[in-house]
Amino acid sequence: MNIKMERFKIDLTEIEGEGDFPCPHCGEIISPDDDSGMVYDIIESTEADGELEKVTIKCKKCGSAIQLEGFSLFKEIGNSEKIFDIEDYLNLQEKFMSF
């Protein structure tokens, strides 16, 4: 038994827009702001020194696991005193829109 799960890596510093991106496998647009639970599931988030380092999500359409990195990009968004965490990521588009 050797089932290999599709696993992709996305560096948020390399994508354009407000944190949304197409699933590397099926092309479904995954938006961090979409909390309907219909498009993706958060499998795990990893923090380092209290700051968000990696988030692994699962595309609900094709089942691919996608690891997101590059959150340091967002540190300067909003209140720099505050640590960027998973909640901030999920609210990212709101923050962009309020600029």
Residues that bind Zn ion (CB under 5 A): 23, 25-26, 28, 59, 61-62, 64
Residue 17's alpha-carbon distances to 3, 7, 46, in angstroms, are 34, 23, 23
The distance of closest approach from Cβ of residue 7 to Zn ion in the complex, given in angstroms and rounded to an integer, is 12
Q: How far is the CB of 65 from Zn ion (least distance, A)?
A: 10
Instruction: Give the Cα separation of 40 and 37 in Å (integer).
Output: 6
For Zn ion, the closer CB: 26 or 83: 26
Minimum Å distance from CB 70 to Zn ion?
Answer: 20
Q: How far apart are CA 88 and CA 60, in angstroms?
A: 22
